[in-house]
Amino acid sequence: PVWSCNRQEAMTLAERLGAPIDDSKVTIGGGLDDFMHQLCDGLGATLRAPLVVRVGARGAWIREPGGETIHIEGYPTKAVHTRSAGGCHTGVMCAMLAKGHSLAESVKIANAAASIAIQHSLNGVPQCPDYDEAIALIGE
């Protein structure tokens, strides 16, 4: 399985599983990158499974068993809502994994799709973009 969650969910999961995390590095002025590496390293080692932690406009951090924690950048956007971001990201990531893409490439495409998804809706209903839209954003 692949564990995919937002930062708050990852922190809660790490706490409940007793993963070795020190959140004192997170400060108002910064420290997110260091903390995310620590969170993904600790939680990933505890889960012993691929881990994706989404952090909104900053993209996502990923860690595969035995590998390093890697930051996959997000894409600048002007959000009109955020209702569909997590679901869109997870759905696109799973679709790309099923097509044989690596976890890093799948998350890169999912980051682009989620960025597009929160920019618009159809009659108030969030819409996940198609593959070509996400790839076009990556190419810009």
The tens digit of pLDDT for each residue in 36-74 reads: 888 999 999 999 999 999 998 899 999 999 999 999 999
> Residue 121 has what pLDDT?
73
For residues 134 and 132, what is the distance between their CA atoms, to the nearest angstrom? 5
> What's the pTM value of the predicted model, to 2 decimals?
0.87
Residue listed under structure tokens 């590998």 = 67
Residue 138: how many CB atoms within 10 A of its CB?
A: 14
Q: Which residues of 39-62 are buried (b: 16+ CB within 10 A; e: fewer)?
A: bbbbbbebbeebbbbbbbebbbbb
